């Protein structure tokens, strides 16, 4: 997880991850969506699910990028956002996520970044 709030107004956090196959990438996207849905978050938009080379999930303050391994290497977002502080979240921290309205208004009034990620 990258904290990009000081570098861009697009989001506060980027989550960048990858899988070795189309099915793995889709499974990661499904797992993230399920976990965040349990915390009360729904994406504003999801792009790339059909081809699953690069899936982008927009949760307002959190943008999730899920790549096929070779696509991740090609685009190099990890290096592009290399100045952003890196955060490591444990499975327990992810399970404890709860939502409240974001400090930045969502265009559709949906909850965005869980408070457990804010202020890190």
Residue 66 falls within a domain, yes or no? yes
Residue 120 falls within a domain, yes or no? no
Q: Which two tokens stand for residue 75?
A: 């685009």
| CATH number, position 105 | 3.30.460.10
Structural domain count of the chain: 1
Residue 31 falls within a domain, yes or no? yes
The rounded distance, in Å, linking the Cα atoms of 115 and 26 is 26
Range of the domain at 17: 2-113
Q: How many other β-carbons are positioned within 10 Å of the β-carbon of residue 112?
A: 26
pTM for the predicted model, two decimal places: 0.75
Residue 60 falls within a domain, yes or no? yes
Q: Are 26 and 52 in contact (CB under 8 A)?
A: yes
Residue 119 falls within a domain, yes or no? no
pLDDT in tens, the chain (120 residues): 899 999 999 999 999 999 999 999 999 999 999 988 988 889 999 999 999 999 999 998 899 999 999 999 999 998 999 899 998 877 666 555 443 344 444 444 444 555 455 444
Residue 58 falls within a domain, yes or no? yes
């Amino acid at each position: 997880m990258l904290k990009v709030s000081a570098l861009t107004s697009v989001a506060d956090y980027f989550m960048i991850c990858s899988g070795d196959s189309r099915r793995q990438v889709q499974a990661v996207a499904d797992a993230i969506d399920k976990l965040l849905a349990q915390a009360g978050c729904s994406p504003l938009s999801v792009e790339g699910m059909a081809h699953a080379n690069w899936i982008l999930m927009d949760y307002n303050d959190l943008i999730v990028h899920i790549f096929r391994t070779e696509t991740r290497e090609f685009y190099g977002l990890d290096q592009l956002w290399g100045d952003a502080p890196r955060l490591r979240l444990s499975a327990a921290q992810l399970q404890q996520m709860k939502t409240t309205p974001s400090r930045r208004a969502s265009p559709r009034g949906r909850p965005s970044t869980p408070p457990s990620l804010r202020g890190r």
